[in-house]
């Protein structure tokens, strides 16, 4: 897909820039994007590189990056327990927020840094540090990213 050349708000010429840092939070998840590529006009209106850039980014993060995070597993429908993904021992309730960072590339656009700050639980039996449940993080990621985009003045295409 070709880069846009005109601002959809003022019809001004667009040029490529990067946003140093933007963040969004949802629940226990904080997402920070650094060096994020955007198109900007002379009036400062920001646009995604291409209209479907956020969707491509979300797919990339959910399928490739979050899948690599160490995770426990959830057991039970009503009375949920979280078990260590390595040894199966029940995880405690104490957590520390830790960052997991990824260098992200979408199509042929410049790479940028994505950092997920999430609660990490340490198994008392084997010592493995892990998320309680990867699916919980995946469910929070779209809203956290949307907040970051909104804070940076990026809006989805209409």
Taking only the tens place, the pLDDT of each residue in 138-156 is: 999 999 999 999 999 998 7
What is the percentage of the chain residues whose pLDDT exceeds 70? 99
Cα(59)–Cα(36) distance, rounded to whole angstroms? 16
Which letter does DSSP use for residue 91 in this model?
P
| Phi and psi torsions of 68, nearest 5° | -90, -10
43-86 residue pLDDT tens: 999 999 999 999 999 999 988 899 899 999 999 989 999 999 99
Model confidence at 1: pLDDT above 60: no
Cα(24)–Cα(117) distance, integer angstroms: 11
For the entire predicted model, the pTM comes to: 0.90
Question: Which candidate, 14, 48, 27, 51, places its Cα nearest to that of 143?
Answer: 27
Whole-angstrom Cα distance, residue 58 to residue 108?
16
């Amino acid at each position: 897909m070709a880069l846009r050349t005109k601002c959809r708000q003022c019809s001004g010429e667009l040029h490529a820039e990067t946003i140093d840092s933007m963040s969004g939070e949802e629940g226990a998840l904080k997402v920070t994007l650094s060096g994020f590529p955007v198109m900007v006009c002379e009036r400062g209106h920001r646009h995604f590189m291409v209209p479907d850039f956020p969707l491509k980014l979300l797919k990339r993060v959910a399928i490739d990056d979050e899948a690599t995070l160490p995770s426990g597993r959830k057991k039970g429908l009503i009375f949920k327990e979280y078990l260590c993904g390595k040894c199966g021992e029940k995880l405690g309730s104490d957590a520390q927020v830790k960052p997991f960072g990824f260098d992200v590339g979408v199509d042929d656009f410049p790479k940028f840094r994505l950092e997920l700050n999430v609660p990490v639980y340490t198994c008392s039996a084997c010592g493995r540090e892990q998320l309680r449940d990867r699916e919980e993080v995946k469910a929070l990621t779209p809203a956290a990213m949307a907040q970051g985009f909104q804070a940076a003045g990026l809006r989805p295409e209409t």
